[in-house]
Amino acid sequence: MFYKQSINRKLFVWVNAAALTFITLIGIVPFIHLLAVSLSSNTAAMAGEVKLIPIGITLDAYDYLIHKVEFLRSLVVSLKRVVLGTAINMFLVFITAYPLAKSTEQFRARTAYVWFFAITIFLGGGLIPTFIIVKETGLINSIWALILPGALNVWNMIMMLNFFRGIPKEMEEAATIDGAGHWVLLWKIYLPVSLPSIATIGLFTVVGHWNSWFDGILYMNSPENYPLQTYLSTLITAMNAQIQSISVEQLKALENLSEKTLRTAQIFMGALPILMVYPFLQKYFIKGMTVGSVKE
């Protein structure tokens, strides 16, 4: 900021700002559109007239939404899933990454273990075998079917592992000299130091749990166990365009689809909680990681 700005520099700043604004708009305009449609009158919404400003403003859709059992029920399932899932995921990532971050002198079988985990990134079981395992272990239709199959995210675990390796050895040594064992090291030294990376991985996990919908369809046998995104996906899936004629019942379903404002209201409300998580975790992204803990 304090050096003289050349023409090129100015040009760069402007182009940069314009490009970033444009990208931001691409991201934010769909949300504004959703919000506008959900606040509009149904006729205007059905005629496709609403763009970014609501036409015939009404809160009817939201009023109806707070009484809509399906939506609220799914919201509860989703919240349960996020809380339980994130807790379990983070715990497993944390305690798995710790020993694997040690050097081979400290933990001889380390490399073998890392490969054991890493191989699952490249080779998956496939849809049907995974389904059969979930079914035979009796998890079908319970919330654990959504949590346990992916309880240890290996990718996140390796990220955490690499982060642990970046923590200066001196801290660990200092603690060991003072009499700390592995357990104390893990909880008293590594945990506080790695808060930024826990926040990052935690955010990925929360978003991942919140957004995933397909496993809900696979593993849940009745709709009252659907997480929110699975429920929302059933609202927006279009009718199969390959059919050449529609039946009376399909027609009836089309007629009932005219609740467009309600649909958009639900999609908007579905995205809102996760949008609100970001500002709170923002500071951890910006914070330096282990700045100032050790003087070389």
Partner 1 sequence: MIKKVVSSVLISTLLAASLAACGSSNENASNSNAATPTNQSHDANEPAAAPDPLGKYEQPVTVTEVIGYRPPEDAGTPKGITPEQNAYLKDLKEAMNIEIKYLWAVPSEQFEQKFSLALATGDLPDVMQVDTKTFEKLKKQDMLADMTDAYNNYATPELKEWIESDGGFTLKTVTSEGKILGIPSFEDPYMSTQLIWIRKDWLKNLNLEAPKTIDELEKVAEAFVNNDPDKNGKDDTYGIAMQKALIGWGFDARGLFNGFGSAPKSWLKGADGKLAAGEIQPEAKEALAKLQSWYQKGIIDQEFALKDETKMSEDITAGKVGITYGEWWVPNWPLNLNMDKDPNAEWEAYQIPGLNGPGKSLVGKLRLNSITVVNKKFEHPEAAVKMINFYNLMLNKENFEKNKAEDGYVYNWFQPRIYQPNLFDVIYDEVNKAIAANQDEIPVTDSSYRGINDVFLATKAFLAGDTSTRSKGTNWGLYASRAAENGGWGLTRKIRESGQVFFNEFYGLPTPTQLDKGSQLDKLIDETYIKIIMGDSLSEFDKFVSSWKKLGGDDITNEVNEWYEKEAVK
Q: Which residues bind partner 1 (CB under 8 A)?
A: 43, 46-49, 67-70, 73, 127-128, 131-132, 135, 217-218, 220-224, 234, 237-239, 241-249, 251-258
User: At closest approach, how far in Å is the CB of 274 from partner 1?
Assistant: 23
CA distance 154 to 276: 27
Contact (Cβ atoms closer than 8 angstroms) between residue 230 and residue 216: yes
Least distance to partner 1 from the beta carbon of 75, Å? 13
Distance CA 19, CA 144 (A): 44
Rounding to the nearest 10 degrees, give the CA dihedral for residues 276, 33, 207, 231: 120
In this complex, which beta carbon is closest to partner 1, that of residue 40 or of residue 153?
40
Query: In whole angstroms, what is the distance from residue 97 CA to residue 110 CA?
Result: 11
Nearest approach in angstroms of CB 207 to partner 1 is 23
Please give the angle made by the CA atoms of 186, 191 and 194, to the nearest 5 degrees.
Answer: 125
Nearest distance from C-beta of residue 250 to partner 1, angstroms: 8
Q: Which residue lies nearer to partner 1 by CB, 47 or 195?
A: 47
The distance from CA 142 to its chain's CA centroid, rounded to whole angstroms, is 20
Q: Which is nearer to partner 1, 212 or 290 (CB)?
A: 212
- Residue nearer to partner 1 on the CB measure, 65 or 97: 65
The rounded radius of gyration (Å) of the Cα atoms in the chain is 25
Q: What is the DSSP string of 106-149?
A: T-TTHHHHHHHHHHHHH----HHHHHHHHHHTT-TTSTHHHHGG
CB of 38 to partner 1, least distance (A): 16
DSSP E strands in 219-278: the ranges are none
Smaller CB separation from partner 1, 127 or 174: 127
Closest approach, Cβ 248 to partner 1, in A, equals 8
If the CB atoms of residues 202 and 216 are measured against partner 1, the closer one turns out to be 216
Minimum distance, C-beta of residue 176 to partner 1, in the bound complex (Å) = 52
Integer Cα distance of 70 and 100 in angstroms: 44
> Which one, 41 or 205, has the nearer CB to partner 1?
41
